[in-house]
Structure 1
């Protein structure tokens, strides 16, 4: 049986400390929020969500609690609750780029590509070099059968960071959709060289293109 690491022991002690503090200060939004973060580090998603909810009951303006709660729902595979939590954060702070990006990514997982595109664009408008939002946008455009728009988004990523492997892979897919196989192959090989994970089915598909 594996023994807990020093970091795990410290985290457990921190959780114990927060729970003891909450016994005396049950309405402290900060303590509930910090306990939620600690539970999230342990992967205890339901406990984390419960603490974030209690934090919000005591401070309805605690934007970060909504964002982190959305992250827990995402990990549980509940995209609707993830979107709802981040939209509540945006109701408090419409300029919160991370919440727009999170909503875009969740819509992408749901297959709602138009909303994914719109939310990703809003994130980029706030933070113009937001690589994750650009990547969400590139993937959503591919899925929406708009490869040229996807290429534009991925090229923007590479102008910021030319070692961003997902952008090279998305370019490979988008260029292939437009029939530009030379460019597609170049970016596919670059994505592989940068360690982008490509499953065996995709690898076989690319070999057939040779």
Structure 2
């Protein structure tokens, strides 16, 4: 028996969106009550930017299976892309309630809370995302920014150090490291990291400005 869902997921991972849609369409045709197929179809539509259509498929999935956390996560992602922050927050929270508690969900809820200018509330979500997926440099970077915002400079410095260790071309992490070391009055380390940021991105305005301030004083 052909597993259209598995075939579709394989195509989706390979970026073959038309083939993925065809496979999920077949699955919906054969098993119209399979909520997973609707979520997968929505995921493909979301990946190609058909956001409004994606919403309909996630909602259909929830009609078939109201407890489907992955449908709520998919909706959260779409609403986030549409900059509908309240809806995104509600959907990510609902996804967690329905058991989708992986690092991506914590990360996206943290990112959504930042849109409300609430880094203090976002902090534990980024912390959990990093705990669940230590290699996620972007989650760790956002965690570092939230720590810095709370005045936890040493902890933020450690987080940024880990980011540049994982991603040597993360200009923003080097910039923030530079600022963190400047706060700790380590001028040499501050300049070293600001220079690295500028090496990676010559037009990094913030790094350029920070370096100017440090070299003029």
TM-score (norm 2): 0.75
From 180, 183, 196, the equivalent of 1:174 is 180
Distance 1:163 1:179 in 2: 24
- 1:88 aligns with 94
From 69, 73, 78, the equivalent of 1:67 is 73
Once the two structures are TM-superposed, the CA of residue 171 in structure 1 deviates from its matched residue by 0.8
Are residue 206 (structure 1) and residue 211 (structure 2) matched?
Answer: yes
Count of aligned residue pairs for this structure pair: 199
- 1:147 aligns with 153
RMSD: 2.9
From 135, 151, 155, the equivalent of 2:141 is 135
Distance 1:163 1:185 in 2: 17
From the superposition, tell whether residues 123 and 11 of structure 1 become closer, same or farther in structure 2 (CA, over 3 Å): closer
Once the two structures are TM-superposed, the CA of residue 97 in structure 1 deviates from its matched residue by 1.7
Distance 1:196 1:97 in 2: 33
Unaligned runs of 5+ in 2: 1-15
Once the two structures are TM-superposed, the CA of residue 92 in structure 1 deviates from its matched residue by 2.6
Distance 1:61 1:44 in 2: 24
From 110, 114, 120, the equivalent of 1:108 is 114
From the superposition, tell whether residues 162 and 26 of structure 1 become closer, same or farther in structure 2 (CA, over 3 Å): closer
From the superposition, tell whether residues 197 and 103 of structure 1 become closer, same or farther in structure 2 (CA, over 3 Å): farther
Asked if 1 retains the 8 angstrom alpha-carbon contact of 2:137 and 2:167, the reply is: no
Once the two structures are TM-superposed, the CA of residue 144 in structure 1 deviates from its matched residue by 2.9
Are residue 124 (structure 1) and residue 113 (structure 2) matched?
Answer: no
From the superposition, tell whether residues 205 and 84 of structure 1 become closer, same or farther in structure 2 (CA, over 3 Å): same
Distance 1:118 1:197 in 2: 33
- 2:85 aligns with 79
Are residue 194 (structure 1) and residue 194 (structure 2) matched?
Answer: no
Distance 2:177 2:115 in 1: 20
Distance 2:124 2:41 in 1: 34
Once the two structures are TM-superposed, the CA of residue 118 in structure 1 deviates from its matched residue by 1.0
From the superposition, tell whether residues 196 and 167 of structure 1 become closer, same or farther in structure 2 (CA, over 3 Å): farther
From 61, 64, 82, the equivalent of 1:58 is 64
Asked if 2 retains the 8 angstrom alpha-carbon contact of 1:163 and 1:194, the reply is: no
From the superposition, tell whether residues 89 and 178 of structure 1 become closer, same or farther in structure 2 (CA, over 3 Å): same
Asked if 2 retains the 8 angstrom alpha-carbon contact of 1:168 and 1:191, the reply is: yes
